[in-house]
């Protein structure tokens, strides 16, 4: 008897980025025994975690690209001055 597989797929779409998808093949339980079902569910759980990690990796990369792109359009911020004045109302000294 040949092994059957299920496909776990996650698709992401955004109005500002290219869509992407992540897929994993998961072997079905060879029988309806509790042990085989338990193994299948453990495999499914691992696949879901891996899928989530892959999605997070792509989205983090895209966020970093967006920050670089957006940062090029904005004037530089004086981080030290911002930290020094955090929580206080400060008048510009221009």
Q: What predicted TM-score, i.e. pTM, was given to this entire model?
A: 0.66
DSSP assigned state of 9: E
Between residues 1 and 37, which one has the greater pLDDT?
37
Return all residues near 59 (Cβ < 8 A) that are at least 6 apart. Answer: 12
> What is the model's pLDDT at position 82?
75
Any idea how long the chain is?
94
Digit-coded pLDDT (tens) for 78-92: 777 777 777 777 666
| Residue 25 and residue 5 in contact, taking contact as beta carbons nearer than 8 Å | yes
| Residue 54 and residue 22 in contact, taking contact as beta carbons nearer than 8 Å | yes
DSSP assigned state of 22: E
Q: Does pLDDT of 16 surpass 80?
A: yes
């Amino acid at each position: 008897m040949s092994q059957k597989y299920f496909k776990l797929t996650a698709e992401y779409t955004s109005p500002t980025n290219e869509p992407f998808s992540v897929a994993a093949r998961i072997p079905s339980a060879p029988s309806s025994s509790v042990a085989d079902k338990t193994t299948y569910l453990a495999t499914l759980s691992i696949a879901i975690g891996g899928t989530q990690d892959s999605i997070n990796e792509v989205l983090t990369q895209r966020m970093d690209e967006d920050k670089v792109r957006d940062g090029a359009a904005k004037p530089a911020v004086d981080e030290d001055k911002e930290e020094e004045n955090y929580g206080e109302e400060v008048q510009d000294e221009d």
